[in-house]
Amino acid sequence: MSRFPNGLHGTVVDVMADAELQGRLMGMGLFVGTRFQLLRSGATTPQIPFLIAVGETRIAFDHEIAETILVEP
């Protein structure tokens, strides 16, 4: 996800993280098959969190977590 452009819609195809982080992301509604829109990418400035929309929910996370989420348009 860390290289995905702002504004684009995508689908999560894999989460390459340990079980604890996968559980946390699933609890927020982010798992394989989830459709989302990337509202803000922190790719160029690691101090700025990523922000995505999943339906009416907004989820923010850091660059390290974004690196574990594989997506496709």
Residue 67 has pLDDT above 80, yes or no: yes
Q: What's the predicted TM-score (pTM) here? A: 0.88
Confidence of residue 4 (pLDDT cuts 50, 70, 90): confident
Residue 55 has pLDDT above 70, yes or no: yes
Q: Does domain 9-72 have CATH number 2.30.30.90?
A: yes
Please state, for a pLDDT cut of 70, what percent of the chain lies above it: 97
Counting Cα atoms < 13 Å in the Cβ hemisphere of 33 gives 1
| Tokens, residue 38 | 């990337």
Confidence of residue 30 (pLDDT cuts 50, 70, 90): very high
